[in-house]
Structure 1
Amino acid sequence: MTDKVFEKSIKKQFEFDEEVASVFDDMLNRSVPFYKEMQRLTINFALNYLEENDTVYDLGCSTASTLIELAKHSSKKFDLIGIDNSSAMLARAENKCKAFGVDIKLLNEDLHNIDYENAKLVISNYTLQFIRPLQREKLVKKIYENLEENGIFIFSEKVISSDKVLGKQYIDEYYEFKKTQGYSEFEIAQKREALENVLIPYTDEENKKMILDAGFSHCETLFKWVNFATFIAIKK
């Protein structure tokens, strides 16, 4: 379905409810620049580290697209676990898993309540930004502590610039991108208002500091387009 959520005036903050879930795949592809390329890179780099029967967690898995693509691109069998606190998202994820014949364990849970046992790979695509900073850093620390040796954490985030002029240019460039995807200025403004104080982005430097402070030995940027970035962190 086509994303038309913000064609009407908003009356609440952004949330991953039934209305959003019903158009979420279209929303991602039209709202996140190079989303498919980011997903492709995530999978390709992940497969460099994964062995048969390794455990993979996707935090905020939404409709399970990344885990499904990971399974489709490997002959190895993995223990795939998708976590989301939106029942509407997980209902669509379950239907997609059945359609593609991919076995994924889907959990309707708070990310802080998961133990991440035997994790070799943890994926988090545009999820940490919705978690309050102090809780975000605690979660990343928990992920680090539960990853196996040589385990990896791949995450994508909307980022901001520490320079005010560049930050304004980031926003302008992103707005132009959304217009090319068919969103009106009204829709763009409505979504921005709905996300106010819900999505809290870090700078590139803040994201990397959070990762290193958690104990990871290395963190590098895999991909970046203006204010969207994908990072890889390695536990050694």
Structure 2
Amino acid sequence: MIDKVFEKSIKKQFEFDEDVASVFDDMLNRSIPFYKQMQELTINFALNHLDKDDYVYDLGCSTASTLIELGKQSNFNLNLIGIDNSSAMLARAKKKCKAFGIDIDLKNEDLLTTNYDHAQLIISNYTLQFIRPLQREKLIKKIYNALNKKGIFIFSEKVISNNKVLNKQSIDIYYDFKKTQGYSEYEISQKREALENVLIPYTDEENKKMILDAGFTHFETIFKWVNFATYIAIK
């Protein structure tokens, strides 16, 4: 379905409810620049660090698109686990897994309390930004502890700049991108208002510090477009 969630007046903060879940795949492709390319990079790096029967977790898996693609492109068995606290998203994910014939263990659980041990790979695409800063650092430490030695964490985030001028320019470029995807000024404004104080982005430097403080030995940016970035961290 086509994303028209913000064509009407929004009177609540953004949440991953049925309205959003029903159009989420379209929303991702039209709201996140180079989303498909980012997903392909994630899968490419992932497959180079995985072996048969390894455990892979996607935190905030939404409709399970990344795990489904990983399952399709892997030529060996993987234990794929998707975790999300939105029942609407997981209902969509379940239907997609069945349609593509990919076996994924979908869990409706809280990322901060559920267990994901013995992981070789943990993915988190545009999820951390929705977690409050104090809890975010606790989650990163939990992710570190859950990974095997030399395990990897791949995550994507919307980011901000410490430079006010560059930050404003980045936002303007991003809004121009959204207009090219068919979103109106009104829709862009409505979504921005709904996400205020819900989506809290970090700078590249803050993301790096958070990762290294948790104990990871390596942090690297593998993709960047203005104010969107994909990172890889190695335990």
1:111 aligned counterpart, secondary structure: coil
- Determine if the alignment matches structure 1 residue 122 to structure 2 residue 118: no
Shift of 1:145: 1.0
State the distance in 2 between where 1:208 and 1:114 align. Answer: 24
Q: Does 1:153 align with 2:132?
A: no
CA–CA distance in structure 1, aligned partners of residues 74 and 81 of structure 2: 16
- The amino acid across from 1:231 in the alignment is Y
CA drift of 1:113 comes to: 1.2
TM-score (norm 2): 1.00
RMSD: 0.4
The structural deviation recorded for 1:24 is 0.1
The answer to whether 1:142 aligns with 2:155 is no
The residue number in structure 1 matching 2:68 is 68
AA matched with 1:61: C
CA–CA distance in 2 between the matches of 1:227 and 1:117? Answer: 32
Measured against aligned partners, the alpha-carbon deviations of 1:137-175 in whole angstroms (never above 9, x if no partner) come to 000001101100110000000000000000000100000
Q: TM-score, normalised by structure 1?
A: 0.99
State the secondary structure of the residue aligned to 2:112: helix
- The answer to whether the aligner puts 1:38 opposite 2:55 as a matched pair is no
The amino acid across from 1:120 in the alignment is Q
Listed as ranges, the gaps of 5+ residues in structure 2 are: none
Deviation at 1:115, TM superposition (A): 1.8
Opposite residue 43 of structure 2, the aligned amino acid is I
Percent identical among aligned pairs is 80
Question: How far apart, CA to CA, are the structure 1 residues paired with 2:172 and 2:43?
Answer: 30
Q: Distance in 1 between matches of 2:134 and 2:106?
A: 26
Who is 1:29 aligned against?
Answer: 29
Which aligned pairs between 1:51-130 and structure 2 lie closer than 5 A?
51-130=51-130
| 2:14 equivalent in structure 1 | 14
The offset of 1:218, in angstroms, is 0.4
Letter in 2 for 1:135: Q
- Structure 1 residue ranges, 4+ long, deviating more than 2 angstroms after superposition: none
CA deviations 1:67-86 (Å, max 9, x no partner) are: 00001111110000000000
| Amino acid paired to 2:134 | L
- Separation (CA, whole Å) in 2 of partners of 1:122 and 1:114: 14
Equivalent pairs counted in the alignment come to 235
Structure 1 gap ranges (5+): none
Partner of 1:219: 219
